[in-house]
Chains A and B, each alone.
Chain A
Amino acid sequence: DTGVSQNPRHKITKRGQNVTFRCDPISEHNRLYWYRQTLGQGPEFLTYFQNEAQLEKSRLLSDRFSAERPKGSFSTLEIQRTEQGDSAMYLCASRPSQGGALGYTFGSGTRLTVV
Chain B
Amino acid sequence: NAGVMQNPRHLVRRRGQEARLRCSPMKGHSHVYWYRQLPEEGLKFMVYLQKENIIDESGMPKERFSAEFPKEGPSILRIQQVVRGDSAAYFCASSPGWQLYEQYFGPGTRLTVT
| A and B interact | no
B binding-site residues for A, Cβ under 8 Å: none
